[in-house]
Structure 1
């Protein structure tokens, strides 16, 4: 019998799965009021901004895959905001930078999450704006119990907040004291902002007009003006060891609208898997599926060294293409990258030992550009005082029993991401992966209570890439929600936090579910792994050649066999790889059966279904 920490939840009414139990419960409460999965996802997303502020915030971003009941294909709402109009390679080079800082104001992009959530609500939902904001306002004003990771992160950021980011200290060190795990934490500034939006838009003539008025308030009104003022006047310390202002203007905010796009997809047996386009890393999962089609992956034991080796080597090839070809650019050769013929060429490169190379392909005969390959530990890091830099430390994989992985450096931490998956009684389905606006990456904007996204760190300052810094385009994000159809009908919505690991963990879960008959919870619970043999999407953009991280639940013999094949093995805690959240639906005669699973890692995520 396959081990599972909790049952796969099943029902007929609906299901919500997310990375925090309060958010999932709120989503279900919206379904109980007769609203749709789209309304539930929006309410869940706004609560996640409050209860997981180290992983996402109001000024972050969110890609959303929307599947209305009976749809022939999903639709993508891109809540990934673009770079400011002033953001050019020359601007950063003139500052003496050859890599975009991962903190502060320089990497800030236009906050896309608010626009995307409200677009989903307006175009697909039924609830009022007040309905979906009320739970977030409640938890921001009355408080929510801090999970251990947030309390620990705040404590670790204390020196930076008190030394350089006093507005963050005001919110996260109330009374000069770091909040305790399990105690109630409040952010009344966020509650005030959302309440003000509700109050200012109530007089609009109908539901859609109220939502449009809220969008105007955010992107063409007081919020945009405050963001411009903060970026223009504040010199903020960042990981370069210097102070910089931001580039976002009110005009940048006014020009922003979430893009509505078609997804990209591939078929895999009875399934068709849909992802966001190459402005995300989503097509990586699709490329991996195409490569794996021509292998014996379906017959391999998911705990075996053969399975792990094949997945890792496939990942290396797809990620090399990501870093050479992906970006918010019509020049991306997406059709070829996802073709079976191209997959055949890439599959032939997989051997019996671990590759230590970065090997992008040549779609349509085009020669790839390879990004800078900086080994982990080679980039100097500044101290908090902005003095002499210190030598970068090796990546330390943290204990995810307390929460989400972060990358800790001298004076810098990055946050991660959250996940929302929902399905309702009509068969509407949504998968969304919110992120950005982490309190540990950028200072709180006084009066708003939240931080700006630093997603711009994913641009390259080297010319010639589809992801080279360019004004008013989206950074090639790591955010990558998933939706799968089975036999032509919507079946599953899933995703996970995890930066560069998101599509790795989703692939592993999907293959276990499809080939080994594991239910959603079993596929999520089973031991997992990932490779860091890729240029990190996050500052300082380093690579760990040949690195494979295994949960300690893998047997010693498996570790030894992988090491013998040349993989550089790191053993992480038994429950440390990923925070997947998934829902699914199928028909039992004329009745819908819904299913849900959520990740036990971090002791935080929960699914709700009935």
Structure 2
């Protein structure tokens, strides 16, 4: 079974499975197709986080595909450039791209197919075209002036013939197809692994790294409204190495939930679940005002801790912080803070390990320009300008993977003309304050919002799920888990049900603002629920009826071996397929 945020990626992954590939072959092929089908939501210059289990080893592990800050990306350099935040668009905000190298590493380590077989799908679509979904056309229209006036390489690549592509027209990227073909050609060796490893070298220290360094060094417009040159170099590429690490876990209603560590926002979901496990099902039912309120307050507490303590910490420090944040005593203490009315203050806890960091608490600034701002995610009003991608795969043998590729959006920085893609802007998630646990430090990973999930029952993987959406990713997954694990919904019912999220936390994306008491909820809910939430003190925004979340999931019953999948109808792009 395969499920993703775009039907072409799901169909590609399923094609690989039908032809004998395993889940890791399929996910890799689908991910490269996502670069072509959803270039406004992810790209080769971006990053990824995946959580997986193999048929031979069901222990959940995390593929850490988040690149680090370049050697010259220092707080002092950004201040010298006149910046108080890392910009949301422009190559100065680029971390080392981790997505492509991580997918190739995974293919070499756990896959079975040859590189040319896996990349054939993406090459075909890049050369012959993919249909422009309306969302992509809207994003391109938004940045048309920016591209024409400041990013000519992007204008040439994404607006062929000098105009924004119409919805449902075909869009090609022959330059990226040539990049993939060159990687294949560079992949020489006597064994499959050797061929993939030599292609990785071409990416890490060959023609790709060289082209990136040259392009980033050209000053260009950033979302700050000022011009800067990037600092990423070919040497920074060579510093990056993907790896698998143990997942962080917690239990909710008897199910083990596996996430990435403190360098992601994953433990925030675990914290919220451990708080909610102290309430009965009726108290956390998302179809009631009481349930929405309780879940929202738990999220606000967990996300305050995210700002106070999460970051790419040293392993010993991370172990201490996680041990306290996920302890039963702390979960009970935090759950006890959830009262009958909405909290409007920022409330991190005191874990006794380090002093909680309180970031600048700024409300949204109306003068901020819109073009190329931050991650193109769901807005407070519920309007979706884009977000990220996601893919889940489970195969006949029991291999399972949930992956969230992101970054490197076509609107994140100028296109690199020799390669056919842009660099990402993940460094915008770092603070230019040395006291912050997620401050900018060369060689360290920015704290990412990418946060896929794996579920296990009695030690056996039973589901892989995730969603795009920046700071909303774990919020929407939390609602899904409550509905499926506590209330008995089936996966498609849980995905289709009305969603909501809080904005009462500093955004992970430039310009890092927040809305105290903010709560956004889909318009399909009963208006009486909205009235009750406002009476409780929530600052409620009612969004479009089908506006929040693009969650997908695959499932496996370890007893019967029966597989399942579900995908999101929102946006009419998600697709679940299998047999």
Confirm or deny a common fold (TM above 0.5): yes
Pick from 553, 556, 559 the counterpart of residue 530 of structure 2: 559
Match of 1:91 in 2: 77
Match of 1:525 in 2: 496
Pick from 264, 283, 299 the counterpart of residue 315 of structure 1: 299
CA contact (8 A) 2:308 2:357 kept: yes
Match of 2:178 in 1: 192
Match of 1:609 in 2: 578
Report 1:180-259 matches (<5 A).
Answer: 180-201=166-187, 203-232=188-217, 234-259=218-243
Match of 2:308 in 1: 324
Aligned: 1:59 with 2:45 = yes
Deviations 1:493-516, CA, capped at 9 Å, x for gaps: 000000000000001011101122
Match of 2:375 in 1: none
Aligned: 1:594 with 2:563 = yes
User: CA shift at 1:255, angstroms?
Assistant: 1.3
- 1:141 is paired with a residue whose SS is helix
- CA gap of 1:250–1:270, structure 2 versus 1, over 3 A, is same
Query: Within 1, Cα distance between the matches of 2:58 and 2:503?
Result: 36
CA contact (8 A) 2:282 2:291 kept: no
Deviations 1:170-210, CA, capped at 9 Å, x for gaps: 01110101111111110100001001111221x31110001
Aligned: 1:25 with 2:46 = no
Query: Within 1, Cα distance between the matches of 2:396 and 2:190?
Result: 30
User: CA shift at 1:48, angstroms?
Assistant: 0.4
Q: Which moved more, 1:515-524 or 1:105-114?
A: 515-524
Pick from 414, 417, 425 the counterpart of residue 396 of structure 2: 425
User: CA shift at 1:383, angstroms?
Assistant: 8.7
CA contact (8 A) 1:16 1:24 kept: yes
CA contact (8 A) 2:30 2:391 kept: yes
Match of 2:336 in 1: 348
User: CA shift at 1:366, angstroms?
Assistant: 3.4
CA contact (8 A) 1:70 1:489 kept: no
- CA gap of 1:185–1:365, structure 2 versus 1, over 3 A, is closer
Query: Within 2, Cα distance between the matches of 1:608 and 1:501?
Result: 25
Aligned: 1:294 with 2:294 = no
CA contact (8 A) 1:148 1:182 kept: yes
- CA gap of 1:24–1:90, structure 2 versus 1, over 3 A, is same
CA contact (8 A) 1:376 1:395 kept: no
Deviations 1:541-596, CA, capped at 9 Å, x for gaps: 000111111111100100000000000111111101100010010045xx410010
CA contact (8 A) 1:490 1:585 kept: yes
Query: Within 1, Cα distance between the matches of 2:365 and 2:239?
Result: 40
- CA gap of 1:576–1:140, structure 2 versus 1, over 3 A, is same
TM-score normalised by L of structure 1? 0.91
Match of 2:422 in 1: 451
TM-score normalised by L of structure 2? 0.96
- CA gap of 1:63–1:395, structure 2 versus 1, over 3 A, is closer
- 1:506 is paired with a residue whose SS is helix
Query: Within 2, Cα distance between the matches of 1:348 and 1:160?
Result: 49
- 1:579 is paired with a residue whose SS is coil
- 1:569 is paired with a residue whose SS is strand
Match of 2:374 in 1: none
Report 1:137-148 matches (<5 A).
Answer: 137-148=123-134
User: CA shift at 1:242, angstroms?
Assistant: 1.1
Query: Within 1, Cα distance between the matches of 2:576 and 2:30?
Result: 12
Structure 1: runs of 5+ lacking an equivalent: 1-14, 385-393, 400-404, 407-414
User: CA shift at 1:268, angstroms?
Assistant: 1.8
- CA gap of 1:565–1:121, structure 2 versus 1, over 3 A, is same
User: CA shift at 1:158, angstroms?
Assistant: 0.8
Query: Within 1, Cα distance between the matches of 2:282 and 2:236?
Result: 48
Aligned: 1:79 with 2:65 = yes
- 1:119 is paired with a residue whose SS is helix
Query: Within 2, Cα distance between the matches of 1:463 and 1:199?
Result: 44
CA contact (8 A) 2:125 2:172 kept: yes
- CA gap of 1:490–1:242, structure 2 versus 1, over 3 A, is same
User: CA shift at 1:70, angstroms?
Assistant: 4.7
Query: Within 2, Cα distance between the matches of 1:366 and 1:134?
Result: 50
Query: Within 1, Cα distance between the matches of 2:524 and 2:56?
Result: 41
Q: Name the count of aligned residue pairs.
A: 570
Divergent runs of 4+, >3 A: 297-301
CA contact (8 A) 2:285 2:483 kept: no
- 2:511 is paired with a residue whose SS is coil
Query: Within 1, Cα distance between the matches of 2:308 and 2:277?
Result: 23
Deviations 1:243-292, CA, capped at 9 Å, x for gaps: 10011111101111113211100122321000000100000000001111
CA contact (8 A) 1:513 1:523 kept: yes
Deviations 1:415-437, CA, capped at 9 Å, x for gaps: 52100100000010000000000
Pick from 7, 14, 22 the counterpart of residue 36 of structure 1: 22
The alignment's C-alpha RMSD in Å is 1.5
Pick from 570, 574, 588 the counterpart of residue 541 of structure 2: 570
Match of 1:367 in 2: 355
User: CA shift at 1:398, angstroms?
Assistant: 4.7
